[in-house]
Structure 1
Amino acid sequence: MPPSKPRPWVPEHVLVTAAAAEQPHTAEVLRRVEAAGVDDVRLLTGNRLTGLTEGSERWVYARAKKTLALVVAPPSAIKPQPIPPSADWRIDLAKGCPAHCQYCYLAGSLTGPPVTRAYANLDDVLAGIGTHAGRGAVTSGTAERDHEGTTYELSCYTDPLGIEHLTGSLAEAVRRVGTGVYGDEVSLRFTTKFDAVDELVALPHGRRTRMRVSVNAEEVAGRFEGGTSPVAARIDALRRVASAGYRVGLTIAPVMPVEGWREQYAALLDAVGTALADVPDLDLTTEVITHRFTPGSREVLLGWYPRTRLEMDESVRTAKRNKFGGTKYVYPRETMAEMRGWFTDALAARLPGAPLLYWT
């Protein structure tokens, strides 16, 4: 039997700021929102999202996760930012995600309730692809990855596929880059925990977009990744887009040394290898990211998920400080070395020809 999967996210509330209402892309978003059956669509008289912090912390979280806001990206969000080791530059189509991952990467980096904010000024957002082409330090001009051109990561602050049925922004970006609107030497990257790729496989992508699926051990995905597509469905989506000529990848994250982790991750890699075995001209990469947290994200996550069984015990972790004075907690050096060695060998054995771009 095919794996069961949740229905596409349909927000209960859609808020459209006054500035967003004036953008050309807004009409397409509202068309999709109406087609999804959303009844509560409100056109605001101003550009502030108000009334979202009233009530208990749990109520604020629950309401925010049921809300899509269509807003205008400010100048600070439009200018591409370096995003090593993933890509040359970051382009944000939205901020926020409808999923309920208990280790949420956004918990410590976004302010206010976790409303999903989609950017209506899509032309402005995508313009940075053209202005920054030929620049960058991760793929552009490097011996190892120059064939990818200047790369733009679309999934730093959202899962673009999880909201694509409501926004259409990802398809428009893929189409423009695929048809050479911003030149021939640029490419897009995004990672997702969803599997709704019907629209993507029919696009003129020009092999200039790499879709990666975020995958994990069965225990981790089943326990901590609420509201997402099952891992088996994600792998099938990866097979479908690879068969349609897309470059593809695995984002194995966040890796956790749960009981039986070697066997679980081995089974995962074997499932991917089987799914992609007959794909012609396969271009597959891998990225491995271990679980980490900050004091701020830990506090937010425990407020959102007070009964979580996610291990966030600072006493069994190693503290690492960045150049800005921030602290994150990672696994001890011995654990990291053991996992890195295992993944390096397992990937080479089970997915030969799929380079490991980075481990962190």
Structure 2
Amino acid sequence: MPPLLDRPARPVSASAPRLWVPKHVVVTRSATDHPHTAEILRRVEAAGVIDVQLLRGDRITSPRGESEREAYARAKATLAVVVAPPSQLVPQPIPPSADWRLDLARGCPAHCQYCYLAGSLGGPPITRVYANLDEVLAPVARLSGTGSVTTGDAARGGEGTTFELSCYTDPLGIEHLTGSLAAAIEQVGTGRHGDGASLRLTTKFDAVEPLLTLPHGRRTRIRLSLNAAEVERFEGGTASMPRRVDALRRLALAGYPVGLTIAPVMPVPDWQQSYGALLDEVAAALAGVADLDLTAEVITHRFTPASKEVLTGWYPRTRLEMDEDARTPKRSKFGGVKYVYPRETMAELRSWFDQQLPERLPAARLLYWT
């Protein structure tokens, strides 16, 4: 492996993070009864949003357009403040990431052409943020000490009972409009929900400044979603890879446990060199960080028939490879199917990461590969 100093780092812009500003904000009638809504509306106004509608009921009308693409664009430009229904307040197990899943919101402002949410969230891709934040976070105290991923696990038991916040959203991408993530970090970090829990989230954004001085108590692990430079073109509306790596360093210097979510891994041309350069950039950025707590999760690209149908409607000109004939179908215990890379490709990818991750980034603990 070439020395780190022989690899010039990609420059990081000194400009402020690019923040998503929705064109439309709607607030359901039930959401207006919650104190957190006032904070969201204050932030929305500060962001310069003019079109804010207070609805008479709780039904959100699907945006219309002359084409599916136009309807998609309007939905992606809309933020809805809603009340999480009872079904969303029941935490679900979320292996292999964490013991339980908690949802601060559903939907994401990014335009990733492989979007994980496509096909799994029904309806238009409006970002829905939950006003009843206290109810969303209430299960943390009740469920601490339970779970099958980190709770009681020899390798990861030090994390306590873990709660994943980024299954259905990127909470940092909307944090400047909601304040929900900071509230969750502070509540768990100061022990409001007990001392046996920790939070986890993955992000493709870099606006971490408001989080750096929070009393996090090292009870929130923030992972940056990182990838080869060739994959970045599929991630519209997100922070650049160098800015994400820089955000990772800033979080680590602020004492946060941090992580890499290397996903979705794709065997792009010269992928070994590209992913090697990425790992070297991370190693250089984290060099000298005291008390570094670093993990890694490696997730290969996959898609389902439903997600492919949705994504090709949203991004009809995408060059993302989603060819069933070039993939291997993998069926779940419930009968669903997803298409993964062939066995030989998966073995080659895994062998490379198993060797290169500890060599180039020895501080990182690989949590899982999938």
TM-score category of the 2 structures, normalised to the smaller one = over 0.9
Q: CA deviation at 1:7?
A: 2.1
Q: Is 1:120 the counterpart of 2:120 in the alignment?
A: no
Q: Is 1:323 the counterpart of 2:333 in the alignment?
A: yes
- Match of 2:289? 279
In 2, Cα distance between equivalents of 1:353 and 1:163: 30
In 2, Cα distance between equivalents of 1:255 and 1:353: 21
Relative to structure 1, the CA distance from residue 358 to residue 5 in structure 2 (aligned partners, 3 Å threshold; closer, same or farther) is farther
Q: Is 1:243 the counterpart of 2:273 in the alignment?
A: no
Q: CA deviation at 1:320?
A: 0.4
CA distances 1:130-186 after superposition (whole Å, capped 9, x unpaired): 111100010011111110000000000000000000000000000000000011110
Q: Is 1:292 the counterpart of 2:302 in the alignment?
A: yes
Q: Is 1:150 the counterpart of 2:161 in the alignment?
A: yes
- Match of 2:186? 175
Over aligned residues, Cα RMSD in angstroms? 1.0
Question: Structure 2: which 5+ residue stretches go unaligned?
Answer: 1-10
Q: CA deviation at 1:53?
A: 4.2
AA matched with 2:274: Q
- Match of 2:23? 12
TM-score by length of 1: 0.98
Q: CA deviation at 1:54?
A: 5.2
In 2, Cα distance between equivalents of 1:54 and 1:8: 25
Aligned to 2:354, which of 333, 344, 358?
344
TM-score by length of 2: 0.96
In 1, Cα distance between equivalents of 2:46 and 2:165: 25
Report the secondary structure of 1:73's partner residue.
Answer: coil
CA distances 1:307-357 after superposition (whole Å, capped 9, x unpaired): 000000000100000011100000000000000000011101011131110
Relative to structure 1, the CA distance from residue 51 to residue 104 in structure 2 (aligned partners, 3 Å threshold; closer, same or farther) is closer
AA matched with 1:289: I
Aligned partners of 1:140 and 1:150 also within 8 Å: yes
AA matched with 1:64: A
Aligned residue pairs: how many? 359
Aligned partners of 1:6 and 1:228 also within 8 Å: no
Over the matched positions of the two proteins, sequence identity in percent amounts to: 70
Q: CA deviation at 1:6?
A: 6.3
In 2, Cα distance between equivalents of 1:199 and 1:334: 44
- Match of 1:98? 109
In 1, Cα distance between equivalents of 2:56 and 2:268: 50
In 2, Cα distance between equivalents of 1:338 and 1:160: 33
Aligned partners of 1:5 and 1:229 also within 8 Å: no
AA matched with 1:295: P
In 2, Cα distance between equivalents of 1:118 and 1:7: 20
In 2, Cα distance between equivalents of 1:233 and 1:285: 19
- Match of 2:280? 270
Aligned partners of 2:100 and 2:147 also within 8 Å: yes
Relative to structure 1, the CA distance from residue 6 to residue 303 in structure 2 (aligned partners, 3 Å threshold; closer, same or farther) is farther
